[in-house]
Structure formats: structure tokens, C-alpha cells
Structure 1
Amino acid sequence: MLIKEWMSRSVVTINHEDTLYDASKLFQTMVISMLPVMENGVLVGILTDGDVKKATPSDATTLDKFEIPGLMDAVKIKSVMSKPVVTIELDHTVDEAAVIMLKNGISGLPVLNRTGRIEGIITKSDIFRCFVSFTGVSKEGQIFAFRLHDRLGTIQSIIDIIRESSGRLCSIMTSYDDVEEGGRTVFFHTFDIDSAHFDSLVERFHGTGGLLYAADLSQGFRKIF
């Protein structure tokens, strides 16, 4: 899941000497959520649509609506942009981008090549697209969530049972968050399990213990244990 495979390559930028009004027009006319701010070809800041809204007079202002553009045109981007810019390099992964965004409380990252040139933008929407694609949820398959002991062979045994039921494995996702030491939560996303096999699988997995959640998205069936 390399960033270069999921980022947006058409990057709209703005100059640090441009105005808040210039930025506002870009956000209104382009499908973007952030603008890299450039000075002489170098990335010096980032401006989000939220930054523009914060710096724009509110609807409660007593200003005439024709006065607002003039005031916005007097505010330079360099005075409202965020800096320094949190970035990521082109050869990093989507997982790494997601962690950086989460830690910094931001919604996107400019993607740079090794020379520091902007190659793209990756946003939380791109992260969501990647997640949906790799889990296979959009294909309306099945999901089984387990709390398992973290030992050799536990995942393989579940895979074998799924295959015995003519299931096709799409993805396996593992989390060690909020579990006791020695355990993990594992999510299996599958295809092609018919309703009769699915029901028997749910019973079998539940009987052996560890099954937290089962869903057949094609039938709209969900059960939490």
C-alpha cells in the first residue's frame, strides 16, 4: 500500500503572497480540502478550508456582504497558514501516513520526492478508499472477528475452516489494541460463502470460542457475541 498508488497527483497550490480571498475562491471552485503554500517553488506552509473559515468574518458580523471580500483580500496567506508543514515521502506506505495524521491531528499530508518536490497529496479520504479496497467490504462479502491467543497456527486453523466451506479469503487484519497480553483481535474478510455454509460457520466458530462478531453483508446479517 504505497502512498504513490493512492495519493492525488493533481496538486493545487497557492503562493504565500496571495490573499485569503484567493484561497476562498479556490476552495469554492475546486474539490480540495487543503492548499500547499509555496514561496519561490519551496513548500513553506499549508492552508486548509478550516483555516479560511476561521479567518473569515462570521455570519453574525455587522459588515455588509460586499465589504467582506475586500477585507479578505487584505489578508495574506502567509499570515494565516500553518507551519512548519508535516509531510511524508513518496516511498512511504499508507499505513505510515495514517499514523502521522492521527498523531498530529491533521487531515492530509503533502507527499514529497527525495529532492523535496511535491508529487501529490494524501488525505484521510484516500486512507478510507485504501481501507475499503483492501478489506473487500465494498464487495459485500462476509466478516468474522475473533479474539485469539497470539500463538502459531491459530489463524491458519480458521483459514482452513473457511476454505472447507468454499470460502475465498480477501483479507486478514490484526490488532493488538485493547487486548490482554498474549492475545489479539483478528478480522477475516471473505467471499463466496453461501448462506447455508455461513450459518453453520457462525455456529462452529461461536462454539469453539473467541468469535466476537459475524456479518454477511450480502444478506444484511450481523451478530455480536
Structure 2
Amino acid sequence: MLSLLEIMTRGAHACSEDDSANRAAQLMWDHDIGCVPIVNRTGRLIGIVTDRDICMAASTQGRRLNEIPAIDAGTREVVAAREDDNIQSVEDLMRRHQIRRLPVVDGSGRLVGMVSLNDLARKTGRGLDASGVAGTLASISEHTHRVAA
């Protein structure tokens, strides 16, 4: 069976805690990615911002993207995989939280990479069960009604 370390993308592009939403958007554009993890000065994961987060911040905050901290556009409540997690637990996290991309952290919470549903799909048939990946996609794609707080 494949390990998470064999599937994930190492060296994820990340923003620092001081970077703007504009910087995050530029990283997404330059590297054709849909989210950027946010790390502190020691490399510990402290947040994540998606392309949707940036669009919503641009629409609702009435400020330019270079005036909005990436951490304020995104979320500080990050769901992350640990580098020693097995693939089943990664799929379970994706299903439970309906997310397609997970930052991967080491035992100290430092960002070491990213794993996406695409990474899982590319490995089906080569040590990864296609039905598990399909089930994960179905769970992620299921519409849920969100209630405003």
C-alpha cells in the first residue's frame, strides 16, 4: 500500500503570516493551485486561503487585495494531515470536512507538503483503490446547507 509521503506534493507554495491576499492570489496564478497554506516564521501551519476565500474577501471587505492579510481572507482553523497518516485517514479527513486539498505537517506542525484529491486519483490502480477515491469524491461533492452564525 502507498504511503502519504509517496502521494503528497512536497515543498508546497505557502504564504507567510504577513503576506497579503494579493500575494496568495499571485502564488495561485503562478503555480496553477487553488489554495495556499499560511505559515508563521518557524514554518508552522497557521492558516489556509483558497481562491474562493480571496474572491469573497474582494467582494465583501471593500479593500484592495494588497490591503487584506491573507490570513484574514482565509481561515485559521485548518484541517491538516500528518506526514505519518495513512491514505485511509487522509480520505476520511477529506470526506468528513468536504475538502479536496489538505496541508501535510510534521510532528511539530511545520508544513511539509500538500495532498489533494487529484494526487489520490492519479495513484488509483497503482497501489490505491479506485472505489475509495470515488467515494471520497462523492462525499466531498455532496451539497450541504450552511446556516449563518
Give the TM-score band, short-chain normalised. 0.7 to 0.9
Where is the helix percentage greater, Structure 1 or Structure 2?
2
**Structure 2: gaps of 5 or more residues:** 136-149
Deviation at 1:45, TM superposition (A): 0.5
Deviations 1:78-98 (A, max 9, x none): 211112211111111122111
Q: What does 1:41-190 correspond to in 2, within 5 Å?
A: 41=42, 42-57=44-59, 71-134=64-127
Gap change, CA 1:173 and 1:28, over 3 Å in 2: closer
Deviations 1:59-104 (A, max 9, x none): xxxxxxxxx9x71111111211112211111111122111101100
Deviation at 1:12, TM superposition (A): 0.6
CA–CA separation in structure 2 for the residues paired with 1:12 and 1:172: 28
- The structure with more radius of gyration: 1
TM-score, normalising length: structure 1: 0.52
Instruction: Answer yes or no: is the 8 Å Cα contact 2:16–2:39 preserved in 1.
Output: yes
Aligned to 2:30: 29
CA–CA separation in structure 1 for the residues paired with 2:27 and 2:109: 24
Where is the strand percentage greater, Structure 1 or Structure 2?
1
CA–CA separation in structure 2 for the residues paired with 1:115 and 1:44: 12
CA–CA separation in structure 2 for the residues paired with 1:3 and 1:102: 16
Instruction: Answer yes or no: is the 8 Å Cα contact 2:45–2:105 preserved in 1.
Output: no
CA–CA separation in structure 2 for the residues paired with 1:128 and 1:30: 20
Deviation at 1:10, TM superposition (A): 2.2
Q: What does 1:198-209 correspond to in 2, within 5 Å?
A: none
Gap change, CA 1:75 and 1:88, over 3 Å in 2: same
Deviations 1:129-180 (A, max 9, x none): 1224346xxxxxxxxxxxxxxxxxxxxxxxxxxxxxxxxxxx8979xx9xxx
The RMSD of aligned alpha carbons is: 2.6
CA–CA separation in structure 2 for the residues paired with 1:11 and 1:172: 25
Q: Alignment length, in residue pairs?
A: 130
**Aligned to 1:131, what secondary structure does the other structure show?**
coil
How high is the sequence identity, in percent, across the aligned residues?
A: 22
Deviation at 1:115, TM superposition (A): 2.6
Instruction: Answer yes or no: is the 8 Å Cα contact 2:17–2:41 preserved in 1.
Output: no
Deviation at 1:40, TM superposition (A): 1.9
**Structure 1: gaps of 5 or more residues:** 59-67, 136-170, 178-225
TM-score, normalising length: structure 2: 0.75
CA–CA separation in structure 1 for the residues paired with 2:98 and 2:27: 24
CA–CA separation in structure 1 for the residues paired with 2:111 and 2:93: 18
